[in-house]
Structure 1
């Protein structure tokens, strides 16, 4: 393990020190390049407090552009991945002005948009409630793995709010316009089977095997070319706003760079020498 900073218990020493003091999450990067960010305030359902906002931003600052990180896993302890917005905090800000609310959202998107496009695969492991902002956190992941305990809800309208934290952007792209409006207008919760049918959930596993399945998937992805994943991810994430010509330009420019990478050159060498491939999903056990 490279380092671990624990916001929900005593720190463990590692090779690197972290300047940010995590308060509502644990964050570690292991020796295989798997980073794990675990929200760990289960007694209050891992809400988006100011401390958790700071933890997310610090994690993004560490992971983004970090060659030691191959895959990022997001998780939550207890019966909630995250229950979303801190309603208690909203009550305490009952006299807040519109400008303050606007600033808070812009500040959140400074790190959330970076997390959406971060240069490695992101897997959300949902083993409970993913409501409101928690649903938003799951949707910025590239893959959602969920257990039978998972429930998803665009809950905002129940307290007279519109969806935020990117749900207006991410959800229609995953489920389509009509289904997104259904979930946003009704604010109904959906179980894991419906979430899978809608395309929100990538894989379903039993609660007791969920993290093992996530770890195995992450371990396989860690063998891939990070450069190729990063540029593919950014291009696909922007594809719905792009013309055919835009994608052609991204493809041509990106592929020109990929041909120069050490990963590609070693993969070609191995192919010519009839040696085992660097990255062959079908042949990997993990």
Structure 2
């Protein structure tokens, strides 16, 4: 891949957006590579957790505006069809049943902010800056931001962040619940990898069921959620993972999964 670095170690996948000269802005090449990789990950049972970060002190500066200006005149249908490669990223990322952690350093603007919002956990460095910048150039947020942002911060605050196109620093991201933790720059990726390493020891079956249930929870009624839980619990409780976890508990042996303590 030309614009992405990817490696897997012990079930933990690290995906690095790698166009540092453009602050990892999302151009068509990166969009296609990211979409293909995310689709491949869905079928790779060896990957238990995914960490997404950016190279060169930035997460992602959004869409590559320079590349947008080089496309020439296009019809409405052509412009709409051109969004398919970005929708592919969204469906691929949201369909993953493994935990996805965003390690956000520096700018996460536009599509970069959207990508972070689609992740299950967002860790931010102290110098992180997030912004749905679209209104400044006469555009609207895309890559599912209208779906994800209200679910994180509530509808009124989502409107304010989208309408104003203002920046959110790391401290405010933490207050709004966009970031789960804010860390010094040097501690950001190690913390993401520590959490990812812990997830690698969790039950992939139980994690997948819970993730699907949570993602659909706002669209389900109580009975639908109870049915999902009943089916999921019946499956999970019969798994080899659950049987081994019970054995370890009874034998007072270390658990397979344990959340890592936060660094002081």
Is the 8 Å Cα contact of residues 195 and 260 (structure 2) preserved in structure 1?
no
TM-score (normalizing by structure 2): 0.95
Aligned partner (choices 227, 249, 253) of residue 271 of structure 1: 249
SS of 2:83's equivalent in the other structure is helix
Paired residues for 1:1-286 under 5 Å: 22-30=1-9, 32-281=10-259
Using CA pairs under 8 Å that are at least 6 residues apart, name the structure with larger relative contact order, 1 or 2.
2
How many Å separate the matches in 2 of 1:88 and 1:221?
Answer: 39
How many Å separate the matches in 2 of 1:205 and 1:284?
Answer: 10
SS of 1:211's equivalent in the other structure is helix
* Poorly superposed stretches of 4+, deviation over 6 Å: 282-285
Residue 105 of structure 1, CA deviation: 2.0
SS of 2:130's equivalent in the other structure is strand
How many Å separate the matches in 1 of 2:211 and 2:176?
Answer: 21
Residue 276 of structure 1, CA deviation: 2.7
How many Å separate the matches in 2 of 1:192 and 1:85?
Answer: 21
Residue 222 of structure 1, CA deviation: 1.1
Gaps of 5+ in 2: none
How many Å separate the matches in 1 of 2:255 and 2:57?
Answer: 41
Aligned to 1:3: none
Q: How many residues align?
A: 263
Residue 282 of structure 1, CA deviation: 7.0
TM-score (normalizing by structure 1): 0.88
CA RMSD of aligned residues (A): 1.7
Alpha carbons of 1:283 and 1:189: their partners in 2 closer, same or farther (altered >3 Å)? Answer: closer
Gaps of 5+ in 1: 1-21
Residue 107 of structure 1, CA deviation: 3.4
Residue 177 of structure 1, CA deviation: 0.6
How many Å separate the matches in 2 of 1:96 and 1:254?
Answer: 47
Is the 8 Å Cα contact of residues 38 and 89 (structure 2) preserved in structure 1?
yes
